[in-house]
A = this chain, B = another copy of it.
């Protein structure tokens, strides 16, 4: 049982985590920390939070478990402020969609003041944002990547893993760079491609949007995601994104060549091979 759970950022993800922790009885007190008290009021009113504050340092000082649920670049910058307020036994994790930048910042701080930090990335979200979109089952059956480095303290890794599992998530442990490379491929690249698809159609043939069927809507749903969040994600992970984007362009060029050269048999074989990969997704 967590005595004081502090959640920094009570939006879609932070709010969903708070609701799930409350529902599962994981914490006695839950405090929400944000820049605007009024925006956290609904989470107080519905009993999800016991207290809210705009004071980051005061908010985390008494906590025994801290979750940083802000956008990725904000998390990276916030660590230096949070760190001195953490006790040596306080567990701290985050929900950032990129890990190398955040974990590197934490590791630098750890070198001067060892703390129980473990980076996390809950792979659950929505094109909706804000506490109004939070759901207590958002993490259920989701994958949460938890990252380890040479300085990771085993009991911190265990506690953070158990926390996510208590919310119904499946935990996968990766090092930060492998994580960033993997999410560049299966998350950031598809988002970038979806944005480009919508943009291309809107410029090329806006009337075509009127006949768009379910396939287009599914493929581009993520292009309705929060611009601020995705701007930060794309920038924070741009090195890995550039590599996976090059791989994508190569795959696209190869398919296009088969089409333009009318190579029907090879094209069908390529599509069939790719379908097998797609069907292996859980």
Contact = CB atoms under 8 A, between A and B. Distances in A.
Interface of A: 123-125, 142-143, 145, 172, 178, 181-183, 185-187, 189-205, 207-225, 227-228, 230-232, 234-235, 238, 241-245, 247-248, 250-252, 254-256, 259-260, 262, 264, 267-272, 274-275, 277-282
Contacts of A208: 181-183, 185-186
A228 B267 CA distance: 9
Interface centre among A207, A277, A282 (most CB of B within 10 A): A277
Contacts of A197: 189-190, 193, 248, 251
A32 to B, nearest CB: 25
A219 B193 contact: yes
A230 B186 contact: no
A172 B225 CA distance: 29
B218 A218 contact: yes
Given A123-B213, A186-B212, A219-B222, 7 more contacts: A181-B208, A183-B208, A192-B252, A197-B251, A209-B280, A221-B278, A238-B259
A186 B252 CA distance: 17
A185 B234 CA distance: 25
A203 B234 contact: no
17 contacts: A123-B213, A143-B213, A182-B207, A185-B205, A186-B213, A192-B259, A195-B270, A199-B251, A199-B270, A200-B248, A204-B243, A212-B282, A220-B278, A227-B268, A227-B269, A227-B275, A241-B259
A237 B81 CA distance: 57
A204 B243 CA distance: 9
Given A189-B197, A245-B256, A218 B227 contact: no
Given A227-B268, A234-B267, A259-B238, A200 B185 contact: yes
A238 to B, nearest CB: 5
Given A220-B278, A278-B220, A186 B211 contact: yes
